[in-house]
A and B are shown apart, each in its own frame.
Chain A
Amino acid sequence: MNFASFGFLAFLAILTLVYFLVPKKVQWIVLLVGSVVFYAFAGFVGFFFLLFAIVISFVTVQILGKRQAALKKYLEDTKETLTKDERKAYRAKHKNGSLLVVCIGILLLTASLVYVKYLSGFINSSLSFGSGAISFGSLAIEVMGISYYTFISIGYMIDVYREKAAVERNFFRHALFVSFFPQLAMGPISRYADTGEQLKATHSFDAKESWCGLLRILWGFFKKLVVADAIAPTIGYIVSEKLGGIYFILLCLFYSIRIYGDFTGGIDIVLGSAQILGIKLPENFNRPFSSKSTAEYWNRWHMTMGNWFTNYIFYPLSLTKSMQKLSKWGRAKLGVGIGKRLPVYTATIITWLATGLWHGFAWNFVVWGLLNGVVILISQELNPLYEKFRARFPKLWHSAPYQSFMAVRTFLLMSLIRVFDCYCDVPLTFDRFFSTFYTFNIGEIFNGGLLELNVSLTQYIVIAVGIVVMMIVSRLSIKKPLRETLWEKPVLGNAIMALLCIAILVFGSYGLGFDASAFIYGGTFN
């Protein structure tokens, strides 16, 4: 189902109504049925894969739960009879058995993910990035959301293995946790700690939550329809015409704006929808374009994905025995400095490679992932230098211009890296990038070139206003989301809500577009 459609809004409205009307005890069943209906709109082929992920993760956590209970009982029973070391050895052995179980579970789910992504091309199920042509609406195809529910399931199995999450014994509640509909299309990747208990709990209608959720959905529509989708034609045009020089730089900027509006807007719709139902999904963005370094950027952009990779790949990988051995070996042979870095650096590169591949099995994603890793490591290496600079010139460091400079630098760098998934062609991307060094056509864009990108002047103005509004809202949301501030000022808040609605309806990029000549009957004779 397309999030940016009346179908989805109608679905959400009906679901909300039923959800708050039924006895609270069965609310979770309403959500499960809703999720099934939502998923059914995307076709039943994908249903099999979702069911597979649900069953595998359910069975895995049940086994893990039983094993953990058995271990506990054994240790309790043998408190008196065994020595501390014996008990420790038993525990370690038992843990290895559990590790095997969780590994089998992970392997099966990963296999189904790889299978689907390999077969259905490399874009269909990776919902967050992809080519410029992608909008989050068109993503409900093939096996919708497999990247997300697979990660949610794997994360849950690992959390249970680590004894950080409770074992859900009810199959249907477990199914709801994995398949809760808002997060199926584009995340966030929630952990059991985020939503597990909430989805079980009962929820009373809360005017504030629902109002804020509604405003958030509208805000998401605004970002997507008035800004992101409106700027999209320029991206398609620059890429397909292989324009270089200044146009490449424009592409970087425009694509960043587009992906920001599309992705954060989509997540706003997702989180807003859940909020209306009284469920708080984890945030996925925290003012990403205010980041002052690449590492910080990845702590603010697609946060649930970043956390997933950090928690379930980066940490375990860098703390494995072999990594620690590698470190020891490095310290002995190559010096303390390099030896210390070896595990971190190896794990970073592998993690980013995996992140790239998760987005899609294509070279542009591999390069995209590696570039991110490399940039992070380079800035890590430069860190001592920065810190010296900072200690030497603390005033300058903390001055607004320098802080802004860092943010702009990070933004440009990330825009440049991001552009790889625009072209879907690595050599071409490099070629166009280098064209900025020998093609000086900056004058062209002011001589009407800008208007040849399939967007008119008035549309640019609306987009620009939209961007300014987005910046203001982001600025005002640092301490707490603006919508919560507006809730305290009902008159202003509702006026803004109405204006937002009208702005979306009039300025949004949706529908068939208007071409006056198409409405002249004689105009069809040529």
Chain B
Amino acid sequence: MKKRIIRIISFALALVAVIGATLYLGAVLQDARLDNREGHLLCGYYDTTDPHDVIFIGDCEVYEGFVPATLFEEYGITSFVRGSSQQTVWQSYHILEETLERETPKAVVFNVLALHYGKTPSESISRMSLEDMEWSKQKIDAIRASMTEEESFLSYFLPILRYHSRWSELDSDDFKHAFDKHADITHQGYLMQTHSDPVDTSDTRQPEAMLEALPERAIEYLDKMTALCKEKGVELILVKAPTNSIRYYWYPEWDAQMVAYAEKNGLAYYSMIGKDEEIGLDWSKDTYDKGLHLNVYGAEKVTSYFGKILAEDHGLTDHRGDSAISAIWEERINSYYNERGEK
């Protein structure tokens, strides 16, 4: 009898130990992979409690292209950027769903570049977006929609299943910070890049001719976003950032498809490609990676340009007169300039 009790207790303890170790080691092993800046672009949103007039949603072109600090400084529009690396449309849709559960902005700005993905382009990059979300029904849906064939759903609950082979790279720091909350390194979702690496003008490569229209699956999710915004009474605005490198080339055919889509659904669509002069972009200074993405100087110009459109054509309120709101934003603007350096 006594042996039986010992047996049951020790088995239960073993079970607890395995579960505990699985969770702890999972956190330790997962942690370091998120040690890069692009791994924490979505988590900052959960800490904000004040409402936003505009939510930007999309891939790198939103978190490197729109600066909420500038938007408030110049137009008094409150905003947040919910962008992440290679954020696919289905991820955007579920992130939008999640966002609209929490607040009802006046407008949602969606950058259309990611529409060219018909399936998840990179399991690891996609995972960074998904893992940075808080647990919710929308997160589960986003995982289901994003999973590549060889992935297991369980590995999102038990990160050890995904990251276990990292064991040989662990150092003591990983163990110390296993359960630390990740600091928000963005400015309202905007990821600061201050250095410049000009476009290589000697590179004369031309993009190949377009092979396919935007994938059906992507358009399906765009339809869902349109419907959701309509249902919630939020205006959906489509944009295409001015960057247009060979790597992420936005074909005129796709652009035409978007123009038609916007017209059909009564949406505004702004493509900033070819608007360098109006925006004032200087590709020898305003990009940090040879024209793939904008740096902070380019992003500010784009925000300035687009903010005017928002304010004039979409009737967004200027909150600069509201002292309570201004106070919150002043702090944000200060911290923004702290990292950027004075104007």
A and B touch in the complex (CB under 8 A): yes
Assess the B164–A501 pair: CB atoms within 8 A.
no
Surface stretch bound by B, among A40-48, A129-137, A490-498: A490-498
Q: What is the 8 Å Cβ interface bit string for chain B, positions 214-242, against chain A (1 contact, 0 not)?
A: 00000000000000000000000000000
Q: What is the 8 Å Cβ interface bit string for chain A, positions 26-39, against chain B (1 contact, 0 not)?
A: 00000000000000
State how many angstroms separate the Cβ of B45 from the closest Cβ of chain A.
Answer: 19
Q: Is B325 an interface residue (CB 8 A)?
A: no
Assess the B125–A521 pair: CB atoms within 8 A.
yes
Q: Is B152 an interface residue (CB 8 A)?
A: yes
Q: Is A437 an interface residue (CB 8 A)?
A: no
Q: Which of B10, B21, B86 has the most chain A CB atoms inside 10 A of its CB?
A: B10
State how many angstroms separate the Cβ of B168 from the closest Cβ of chain A.
Answer: 4
Assess the A513–B165 pair: CB atoms within 8 A.
yes
Chain B residues closer than 8 Å to A458, beta-carbon distance: 168
Assess the B10–A506 pair: CB atoms within 8 A.
no
Within 8 A of B (CB), among A35-94: none
Within 8 A of A (CB), among B49-89: 60, 85-86
Within 8 A of A (CB), among B10-46: 10-11, 13-15, 17-18, 21-22, 25, 32-34, 36, 38-39
Q: Is B163 an interface residue (CB 8 A)?
A: yes
State how many angstroms separate the Cβ of A438 from the closest Cβ of chain B.
Answer: 37
Assess the B33–A511 pair: CB atoms within 8 A.
no
Q: Which of A6, A518, A521 contacts B152 (CB 8 A)?
A: A6
Q: Which of B18, B22, B85, B163 contacts A514 (CB 8 A)?
A: B163
Assess the B22–A505 pair: CB atoms within 8 A.
yes
Assess the B161–A494 pair: CB atoms within 8 A.
no
Alpha-carbon distance between A507 and B160 when the two chains are bound, in angstroms = 11
Assess the A512–B10 pair: CB atoms within 8 A.
no
Q: Which of A491, A514, A521 has the most chain B CB atoms inside 10 A of its CB?
A: A521
Assess the A502–B21 pair: CB atoms within 8 A.
yes
Assess the B18–A501 pair: CB atoms within 8 A.
yes
Q: Is B337 an interface residue (CB 8 A)?
A: no
Assess the A519–B39 pair: CB atoms within 8 A.
yes
Q: Which of B7, B15, B38, B123 contacts A521 (CB 8 A)?
A: B38
Assess the A519–B3 pair: CB atoms within 8 A.
no
Assess the A456–B33 pair: CB atoms within 8 A.
no
Q: Is B154 an interface residue (CB 8 A)?
A: yes
Assess the B25–A506 pair: CB atoms within 8 A.
yes
Q: Is B6 an interface residue (CB 8 A)?
A: yes
Assess the B164–A490 pair: CB atoms within 8 A.
no
Q: Is B155 an interface residue (CB 8 A)?
A: yes
Assess the A519–B36 pair: CB atoms within 8 A.
yes
Chain A residues closer than 8 Å to B161, beta-carbon distance: 505, 510-511
Chain B interface category by residue count: 35 or more
Find the B residue at minimum CB distance from A500: B18
Q: Is A508 an interface residue (CB 8 A)?
A: yes
Known: A490-B7, A502-B25. A516 touches B33 (CB 8 A): yes
Q: Is A446 an interface residue (CB 8 A)?
A: no
Alpha-carbon distance between A525 and B152 when the two chains are bound, in angstroms = 27
Q: Is A459 an interface residue (CB 8 A)?
A: yes
Q: Is B212 an interface residue (CB 8 A)?
A: no
Q: Is B151 an interface residue (CB 8 A)?
A: yes
Assess the B6–A490 pair: CB atoms within 8 A.
yes
Within 8 A of A (CB), among B118-155: 122-125, 127-128, 150-152, 154-155
Chain A interface category by residue count: 20 to 34
Known: A6-B154, A490-B7, A521-B86. A506 touches B122 (CB 8 A): no
Assess the B18–A494 pair: CB atoms within 8 A.
no
Alpha-carbon distance between A514 and B125 when the two chains are bound, in angstroms = 13
Q: What is the 8 Å Cβ interface bit string for chain B, positions 296-311, against chain A (1 contact, 0 not)?
A: 0000000000000000
Alpha-carbon distance between A82 and B10 when the two chains are bound, in angstroms = 71
Q: Is A240 an interface residue (CB 8 A)?
A: no
Alpha-carbon distance between A493 and B169 when the two chains are bound, in angstroms = 31
Q: Is B167 an interface residue (CB 8 A)?
A: yes
Known: A490-B11, A491-B10, A511-B155. A525 touches B165 (CB 8 A): no
Assess the B14–A502 pair: CB atoms within 8 A.
no
Chain A residues closer than 8 Å to B185, beta-carbon distance: none
State how many angstroms separate the Cβ of A496 from the closest Cβ of chain B.
Answer: 9
Find the A residue at minimum CB distance from B15: A498
Chain A residues closer than 8 Å to B127, beta-carbon distance: 519
Q: Is B292 an interface residue (CB 8 A)?
A: yes
Alpha-carbon distance between A505 and B167 when the two chains are bound, in angstroms = 11
Q: Which of B17, B60, B124, B160 contacts A505 (CB 8 A)?
A: B160
Alpha-carbon distance between A108 and B48 when the two chains are bound, in angstroms = 73
Find the A residue at minimum CB distance from B123: A512
Alpha-carbon distance between A513 and B162 when the two chains are bound, in angstroms = 7
Assess the B122–A518 pair: CB atoms within 8 A.
yes
Assess the A511–B165 pair: CB atoms within 8 A.
yes
Find the B residue at minimum CB distance from A515: B124
Q: Is B264 an interface residue (CB 8 A)?
A: no
Q: Which of A490, A493, A505, A514 contacts B166 (CB 8 A)?
A: A514
Assess the A506–B167 pair: CB atoms within 8 A.
yes
Assess the A518–B22 pair: CB atoms within 8 A.
no
Chain B residues closer than 8 Å to A509, beta-carbon distance: 165
Chain B residues closer than 8 Å to A507, beta-carbon distance: 164, 167
Assess the B162–A512 pair: CB atoms within 8 A.
yes
Alpha-carbon distance between A510 and B158 when the two chains are bound, in angstroms = 14
Chain B residues closer than 8 Å to A447, beta-carbon distance: none
Assess the A519–B162 pair: CB atoms within 8 A.
no
Assess the B10–A490 pair: CB atoms within 8 A.
yes
Assess the A521–B167 pair: CB atoms within 8 A.
no
Assess the A498–B14 pair: CB atoms within 8 A.
yes
What is B's interface to A at a CB cutoff of 8 Å?
3, 6-7, 10-11, 13-15, 17-18, 21-22, 25, 32-34, 36, 38-39, 60, 85-86, 122-125, 127-128, 150-152, 154-155, 160-169, 247, 289, 292
What is A's interface to B at a CB cutoff of 8 Å?
6, 207, 211, 456, 458-459, 490-491, 493-495, 497-498, 501-502, 505-516, 518-522, 524-525
Q: Can you name 11 A-B pairs with beta carbons within 8 Å? A: A494-B10, A498-B15, A505-B22, A505-B160, A511-B165, A513-B165, A514-B162, A516-B33, A516-B169, A519-B127, A521-B38
Given A498-B14, A505-B164, A510-B161, 20 other A-B residues pairs in contact with their CB atoms under 8 A: A207-B7, A490-B6, A490-B10, A490-B11, A493-B10, A494-B14, A506-B167, A511-B152, A511-B161, A511-B164, A512-B151, A514-B163, A514-B164, A516-B32, A519-B33, A519-B124, A521-B36, A524-B86, A525-B247, A525-B292
